[in-house]
């Protein structure tokens, strides 16, 4: 925004107002303009701050060598203001340490930045100018009206000295406005859309396997009376009977015959087959009153069972045994090694090999869980305690649509089970509801409970971004995903970098801020949401297409009435309302 600041330019004003400020009276005779440029010409929120470069150009032979100017940038809004860093200019004869403006004039740039305050969306960036001369009324810094060059009247001077609201009003009236409003489009980056749930372990069908062994003597396939009536088999039958009463359960029964791997392979193959048959007859007799059928299979030498038993044993050198067996693919070589080891390790003969001489009864039961409708009914009736942790996580992630209902379920789940996943997913829901402070607190709790995944690191980065904690967000960037890193770049004003990775609405915002309006429109071409319509209105306004901007804004407000209030304050849409547009 360019301004022509003629400090003390109007002769009549100067004659009346500066009779006691000789150095400024002489400056006023110079008709050259003092040029002030603000870059950017429309201020923008960036990285939690509002920044600008203010360039002042003094013409040659303008600046009085005895004069001092004090220039203070101020962000002024409805019920407050924030001052930026003050810059001082002095003539060549002034014995101070300020920036010197000599007879040749010069160009001077001052960088200013302000921490963003939500009230700044409707604001003005002003320059307040105070003058000081070695003689006359302005021996100390005196506020001057930067718009007219006039000194305060006696009444204004008294009010300024007294302070309070009237003084603030005079200061604002004396300030030179060089920019209006703040473009807060950066705040519209949709962090919630990129946040990720932690997966649950819910399964609608759970498989439960129970086993029982019919034991045999060495090299035998005959089922002894003791083996057929063992407590283990009785418990197996009891489980089958009880499971039959569960209408959600589907049982499959098997009999597998095995031989211990300490004999010839062909012999053991025949032996395991014989044990399958005799084990099947014993199992049929055991389960005849259940009506259940059994499948039969023989597996020969039970190498896997051998390894499992050795690994679970207390044999001192079991690791060596397992390493030796792992070297051989040939059964005959393994048998030879087993025999050699059996001679050395008597525990193999006494404790391991006998347990492999068996027919194993297997009950593989598929248990179907509650239907979605059944779980929803329990939730709707407040009976959440009848659902498991995984069921609750599943319902919140995959079935429930309403965010308030999701939050209720996840709040209960998180507290009852102290589950880090529930806290993370609760953070996602809070973010979707627009409560980023609660989202951040939930993510931090998930992390405290030990969740350390890409999802939680990304979510923590995004929630910190949304809460204006840019530095904290960067701490999680290394372990975050690519989209999160791009949003961090966008939050820092690196819109070109961000746009290369982002898609959809977020890409459109990055491209709009990067002034690539064609790419921005393309990114949301298929998006029919209210926020996309609103952004299309902003893009059209930037292009000067006021009629399209009006149409898109009306569409956005029809879908989301809250956008009307936002639009009324949006500097990007100021031209619409300045031309009499009404929603």
| Tens digits of residue pLDDT in 141-169 | 989 888 877 888 999 999 999 999 999 99
Residues 257 and 245: beta-carbon distance below 8 Å: no
| Tens digits of residue pLDDT in 166-181 | 999 999 999 999 999 9
Residue 363 pLDDT grade (very low, low, confident, very high; cuts 50, 70, 90): very high
Which CATH superfamily, name and number, covers 205-368? Answer: OmpA-like domain (3.30.1330.60)
Residue % of the chain over a pLDDT of 70? 94
Per-chain mean pLDDT for the chain: 89
Domain map of the chain by residue range?
2-183, 188-203+371-481, 205-368
The Cα 386–Cα 371 span in angstroms is 13
| Tens digits of residue pLDDT in 562-571 | 999 999 999 9
Higher pLDDT, 430 or 311: 430
Nearest to 127 by CA among 84, 205, 179, 71: 71
pTM (2 d.p.) = 0.74
Angle ∠(522,525,529) on CA atoms, nearest 5? 135
| Tens digits of residue pLDDT in 283-318 | 999 999 999 999 998 888 888 888 899 899 888 878
Would residue 440 be called left, alpha or beta, if left means φ above 0 and alpha means ψ between -120 and 50 degrees? alpha
Higher pLDDT, 299 or 536: 536
The Cα 304–Cα 327 span in angstroms is 15
Burial 297-328 (b: 16+ CB within 10 A, else e): ebbbbbbebbbebbeeeebeebeebeeebeee
Dihedral of CA atoms 310, 314, 316, 321 in degrees, nearest 10, equals 0
Task: Flag whether pLDDT at 510 surpasses 70.
Answer: yes
Nearest to 212 by CA among 250, 259, 244, 253: 253
For β-strands 182-183 and 43-46, DSSP reports them as: parallel
What pLDDT, on a 0 to 100 scale, did the predictor assign at position 5?
A: 46
Task: Flag whether pLDDT at 17 surpasses 60.
Answer: no
Place of tokens 């069972």: 305
Average pLDDT over residues 44-61: 90
Task: Flag whether pLDDT at 254 surpasses 90.
Answer: yes
| Tens digits of residue pLDDT in 73-103 | 999 999 899 999 999 999 999 999 999 999 8
- Could you tell me where the DSSP H helices lie in 348-453? 372-380, 389-394, 403-417, 420-432, 436-448
- Please tell me the total number of residues recorded for the chain in this structure: 583
- Could you tell me where the DSSP H helices lie in 245-312? 265-287, 303-312
Q: How is residue 141 written in tokens?
A: 């810094």
Taking the domain 188-203+371-481, which CATH number applies?
1.25.40.10
Task: Flag whether pLDDT at 271 surpasses 50.
Answer: yes
């Amino acid at each position: 925004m360019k301004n022509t600041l003629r400090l003390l330019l109007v002769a009549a004003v100067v004659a009346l107002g500066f009779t006691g400020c000789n150095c400024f009276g002489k400056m006023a005779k110079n008709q050259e303009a003092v040029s002030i440029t603000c870059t950017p010409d429309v201020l923008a929120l960036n990285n939690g701050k509002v920044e600008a470069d203010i360039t002042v150009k003094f013409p040659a032979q303008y600046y009085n060598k005895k004069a001092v100017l004090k220039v203070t940038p101020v962000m002024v809004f409805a019920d407050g203001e924030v001052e930026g860093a003050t810059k001082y200019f002095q003539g060549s004869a002034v014995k101070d340490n300020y920036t010197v403006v000599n007879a040749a004039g010069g160009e001077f740039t001052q960088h200013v930045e302000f921490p963003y305050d939500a009230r700044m969306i409707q604001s003005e960036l002003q320059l307040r100018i105070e003058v000081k001369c070695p003689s006359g009324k302005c021996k100390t810094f005196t506020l001057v009206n930067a718009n007219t060059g006039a000194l305060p009247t006696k009444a204004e001077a008294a009010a300024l000295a007294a302070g309070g609201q009237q003084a603030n009003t005079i200061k604002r009236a004396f300030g030179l406005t060089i920019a209006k409003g703040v473009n807060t489009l950066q705040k519209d980056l949709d962090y919630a859309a990129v946040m990720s749930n932690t997966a649950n372990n819910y399964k609608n069908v759970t498989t439960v396997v129970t086993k029982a062994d019919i034991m045999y003597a060495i090299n035998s396939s005959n089922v002894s009376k003791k083996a057929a009536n063992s407590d283990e088999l009785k418990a197996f039958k009891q489980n089958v009977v009880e499971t039959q009463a569960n209408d959600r359960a589907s049982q499959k029964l098997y009999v597998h015959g095995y031989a211990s791997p300490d004999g010839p392979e062909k012999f053991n193959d025949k032996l395991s087959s014989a044990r399958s048959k005799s084990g099947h007859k014993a199992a049929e007799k055991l389960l005849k009153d259940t009506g259940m059928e059994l499948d039969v299979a023989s597996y020969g030498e039970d190498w896997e069972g051998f390894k499992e038993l050795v690994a679970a044993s207390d044999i001192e050198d079991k690791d060596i045994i397992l390493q030796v067996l792992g070297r051989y693919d040939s059964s005959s070589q393994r048998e030879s090694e087993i025999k050699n080891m059996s001679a050395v390790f008597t525990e193999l003969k006494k404790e391991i090999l006998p347990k492999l001489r068996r027919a194993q009864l297997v009950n593989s039961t598929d248990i179907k869980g509650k239907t979605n409708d059944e779980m929803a009914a329990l939730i709707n009736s407040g009976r959440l305690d009848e659902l498991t942790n995984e069921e609750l996580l599943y319902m919140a992630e995959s079935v429930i649509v309403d965010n308030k209902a999701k939050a209720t379920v996840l709040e209960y789940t998180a507290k009852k089970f102290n589950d880090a996943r529930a806290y993370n997913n609760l953070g996602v829901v809070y973010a979707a509801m627009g409560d980023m402070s609660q989202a951040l607190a939930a993510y931090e709790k998930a992390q405290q409970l030990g969740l350390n995944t890409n999802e939680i690191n990304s979510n923590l980065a995004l929630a910190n971004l949304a809460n204006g904690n840019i530095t904290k967000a960067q701490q999680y960037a290394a372990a975050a995903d690519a989209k999160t890193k791009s949003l961090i770049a966008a939050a820092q004003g690196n819109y070109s970098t961000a746009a290369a990775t982002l898609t959809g609405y977020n890409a459109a915002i990055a491209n709009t801020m990067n002034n690539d309006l064609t790419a921005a429109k393309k990114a949301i071409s298929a998006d029919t949401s209210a926020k996309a319509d609103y952004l299309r209105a902003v893009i059209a306004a930037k292009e000067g297409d006021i009629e399209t901007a009006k149409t898109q804004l009306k569409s956005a407000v029809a879908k989301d009435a809250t956008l009307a209030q936002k639009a009324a304050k949006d500097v990007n849409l100021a031209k619409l309302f300045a031309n009499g547009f009404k929603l």
